[in-house]
Amino acid sequence: MAEPRNHVVISEASLPSLDVIAKQVADDGAGAISTFSGTTRDHFQGKVVLRLEYEAYEAMVIKILHDLIKEARSKWNVMHIAVYHRTGLVPVGETSVVVACSSAHRADAIHSAEYLIDELKARCPIWKKEVYEDGSVWKGACDNKHHH
């Protein structure tokens, strides 16, 4: 089996396609690749969303993501893992976060991908500004307050 690979990328650029990211975690020994992608939707609680803006404490996000990957690897038999998160402006219809995990069997890939996205949202210092037609609001991980 190939040495386990971890790809952790925080970037203002558009994220690679799911196909490209799935290839990064592909392995001849992997019978399963599970992916999750989070996309900006056009509404939230009845409000029209124009775009999202993300800010991240990048060095801390990268450290926490590597910790989360170690935790996932301790819980499930995962081969390769990729986690991408976009910062800056993310228009409606574009992807802000992708998690991909490969494993021999599907349960490990599915559970580790779910764990990684849930824990990323709970623990990473990433703040999201939802920009609506009638104003905007900041939301953040760990209920951290974010002010400009």
| pLDDT at position 146 over 60 | no
Q: How far apart are CA 126 and CA 142, in angstroms?
A: 9
* Locus of tokens 């399963």: 32
Span 71-113, pLDDT tens digits: 999 999 999 999 999 999 999 999 999 999 999 999 999 999 9
In order of their start, the domains of the chain are 17-137 (3.90.1170.40)
Q: Give, in degrees to the nearest 5, the angle at Cα 65 between 139 and 145.
A: 20
Tell me the two tokens of residue 147: 């002010």
The pLDDT of residue 142: 52
pLDDT tens per residue, range 107-129 = 999 999 999 999 999 999 999 99
Asked whether 48 and 92 are in contact (CB, 8 A), the reply is no
How many Å apart are CA 39 and CA 49, to the nearest integer? 12
Residue 140: pLDDT band by 50, 70, 90 thresholds? confident
| 69 φ, ψ (degrees, to nearest 5) | -65, -45
Q: Are residues 98 and 25 in contact, defined by beta-carbon separation less than 8 angstroms? A: no
